[in-house]
Amino acid sequence: MRRGILPSAPDYTNAALAMGLINLLWIFFALWAAFGLPVVLAAGYGLDLLIRRVGRRG
């Protein structure tokens, strides 16, 4: 295999963020259908706390 200048890797940031949003939405919808809105609100609040904790560390 030739070594040398490699082409730059494609930027998949937008695709990853979009898929993360889609996954979050279907998971919240499944929780809502199975357990009701209070469970979705609690899961969202817990996720918010987790994101804030990770943000403070970094």
Which residues have CB under 8 Å from 39's CB, separation 6+? 31, 32
User: Residue 32 in contact with residue 40, Cβ under 8 Å?
Assistant: yes
pTM of the full structure: 0.75
Q: How distant, in Å, are the alpha carbons of 40, 53, 56 from that of 47?
A: 10, 10, 14
Q: Walk along the chain (58 residues) and give the pLDDT tens digit of each residue.
A: 677 788 888 999 999 999 999 999 999 999 999 999 999 999 999 999 999 999 999 7
The CA distances from residue 1 to 4, 6, in Å, are 10, 12
